[in-house]
Amino acid sequence: MAEMKCRMLGCFCITAFAFAEICVGTNAADTNGLAAPQPAPQAELSEIPDIRLEAQPPLAKEEEAQILNLIRNLANIEDPDFGFSPTMSGESFAPVQTARQAGVLLLTDHHLRTSVDLVELVKLGPKALPFLLKALDDQTPTKLVITHDWLDGGMWFQTEDGSPKETIHSYTVKVGDVCFVIIGQIVGAWYQAVGYVPSHNIIINSPTHDANLARQVRKTWSNINPDQHLLDSLLFDFSTRGGNHIKSLEGWYVGLDVQSSSAMRLMYYFPQQTTNLIATCLRRLDVGKTHGVYVDQRGVAHASRSKDFIEAVAWSSEPAIQAELRRICEVTSDPDLVSATGVAMDKATASAFRRRLEESIASLPETEKYLWGEDSKLLLALGRQFGSDAKPAFERFMQNASLERRFTMCWVLTEVRGDLSVDLLGPLLEDARPAFEGWTYAVVSERDQPRLPMRICDKAAETIAKNFPKLKFTMVGQYADLDRQIQKMRDQISHHEY
How confident is the model at residue 426, as a pLDDT? 96
**CA 402 to chain centroid:** 32
Beta bridge partners of 88: 105
**Highest mean pLDDT out of 13-17, 268-272, 333-337:** 268-272
Q: Average pLDDT of 361-387?
A: 77
Amino acid of residue 158: Q
Q: Average pLDDT of 445-455?
A: 84
Residue 8 scores a pLDDT above 80:
no
Q: Average pLDDT of 349-369?
A: 80
Q: Average pLDDT of 211-222?
A: 95
How confident is the model at residue 105, as a pLDDT? 82
Query: Residue ranges of the domains in the chain?
Result: 57-224, 385-498
How confident is the model at residue 334, as a pLDDT? 74
Confidence label for 102 from pLDDT (cuts 50, 70 and 90): confident
Taking a C-beta distance cutoff of 8 angstroms, is the pair 378, 386 a contact?
no
Rounded Cα–Cα distance for residues 248 and 139 (Å): 45
In tens, the pLDDT along 147-206 reads 998 888 999 998 666 666 778 999 999 999 999 999 999 999 989 999 999 889 999 999
Given the DSSP bridges, would you call strands 201-204 and 155-158 parallel, antiparallel or unpaired?
A: parallel
Q: Higher confidence at residue 369 or residue 346?
A: 346
Backbone φ and ψ for 249, nearest 5 degrees, come out as -65, -25
Q: Average pLDDT of 389-396?
A: 93
**Highest mean pLDDT out of 164-168, 299-303, 426-430:** 426-430
Q: Average pLDDT of 457-466?
A: 96
DSSP letters, 446-481, are T---SEEEPBHHHHHHHHHHHH-TTS-----S-HHH
Widest Cα–Cα separation across the chain: 74
Could you tell me how many helices (H) and strands (E) the chain has, helices first? 20, 14
DSSP letters, 313-375, are HTT---HHHHHHHHHHHHH---HHHHHHT-SS--HHHHHHHHHHHHHHHHTS-S--S-TTSHH
Q: Average pLDDT of 280-304?
A: 57
Beta bridge partners of 442: 451
How confident is the model at residue 429, as a pLDDT? 97
Residue 347 scores a pLDDT above 80:
no
**CA 24 to chain centroid:** 32
How confident is the model at residue 164, as a pLDDT? 64
Pick from 8, 1, 4: nearest CA to 45: 4
Q: Average pLDDT over the chain, rounded to whole?
A: 83
**Highest mean pLDDT out of 95-109, 280-294, 379-393:** 379-393
Pick from 353, 202, 340, 208: nearest CA to 282: 340
Q: Average pLDDT of 57-82?
A: 96
Taking a C-beta distance cutoff of 8 angstroms, is the pair 276, 266 a contact?
no
**Highest mean pLDDT out of 117-126, 245-254, 285-294:** 117-126
pLDDT-above-90 percentage for the chain: 53
How confident is the model at residue 384, as a pLDDT? 82
Residue 291 scores a pLDDT above 50:
no
Q: Average pLDDT of 415-444?
A: 90
Helix (H, G, I), strand (E, B) or coil at 141: strand
Rounded Cα–Cα distance for residues 286 and 297 (Å): 6
Q: Higher confidence at residue 1 or residue 126?
A: 126
Residue 64 scores a pLDDT above 70:
yes
How confident is the model at residue 284, as a pLDDT? 87
Residue 91 scores a pLDDT above 70:
yes
Rounded Cα–Cα distance for residues 149 and 393 (Å): 47
Taking a C-beta distance cutoff of 8 angstroms, is the pair 314, 344 a contact?
yes
Specify the DSSP element, H or E, that contains 240. strand 240-241
Confidence label for 243 from pLDDT (cuts 50, 70 and 90): low
Using a 10 angstrom Cβ sphere, with 0-12 exposed, 13-18 middle and 19 or more buried, the burial of residue 340 is buried
Worst-scoring range by mean pLDDT, 1-10, 221-230, 350-359?
1-10
Beta bridge partners of 162: none
